[in-house]
Amino acid sequence: MDQKKCYMCMSLQPIENFHKNIKRKNGLQNWCKECRNKHRITRRKEINTRVRERYNPEKEKQRSMNRRAKNPQRVWASKAIAGHKRRKKPCLFTINDLITIIPKNNTCVLCKKIFKWNCNDHDLAAPSLDQIDCAQALILDNAQIICKQCNGGKSTDTQLGYILNCRDVWEKHRDTRRDQTGRA
């Protein structure tokens, strides 16, 4: 067996012109090296053309926008967990777990501001994942969703400490206003 027939070009060629293939009985490919290389080049061009046709930045952007519009809470939950992990604060729950604690009325539990799910992260009404007690791990029982403004004001304080601080500020502000207006 010094020669073999190529099933692509149908020519009889020496066995040195065929690649090895241990899965075949004779241990050689069915196509000669030249036909196989031509086929590979042609196939690669076809695949590259298909990929270029399929990938369209405008379509990709539109698909992303549709996904965000369809389920903004899921997109937010994914970003919130990823942000905590990026800051080396691991969340011990999943995206689906986080979605379950979103308040039904979509408002901040501290100031009752309505969340804006489809806004940028710098909007004060944007939802924010918060640790109720910063000394404990970020587990579902120690997490709440509050607005960006409350989370920024609360910082590393506990929820009760933040509320008491807000009450003190409010009372001082109320007393100052009374002094300025002369009302008792």
Residue type, 44: R
- The pLDDT, as a whole number, for residue 177 is 60
Chain segment 19-41, per-residue pLDDT in tens: 999 999 999 999 999 999 999 99
pLDDT at 118 over 80: no
Under 8 Å between Cβ of 109 and 144: yes
Secondary structure class of 37 (helix, strand, coil): helix
Alpha helices of 55-145 — where are they, by DSSP H?
57-70, 72-86, 95-100
Cα separation, 150 vs 113, whole angstroms: 10
Instruction: Give pTM, 2 decimals.
Output: 0.56
Chain segment 46-69, per-residue pLDDT in tens: 998 888 877 778 888 888 888 888
Residue type, 112: K
Chain segment 147-161, per-residue pLDDT in tens: 888 888 877 777 777
pLDDT at 121 over 70: no
Q: Where are the domains positioned within the chain?
A: 3-54, 71-181
Q: What is the CATH class of 71-181?
A: alpha beta
- The pLDDT, as a whole number, for residue 20 is 93
Band (1; pLDDT cuts 50, 70, 90) = low
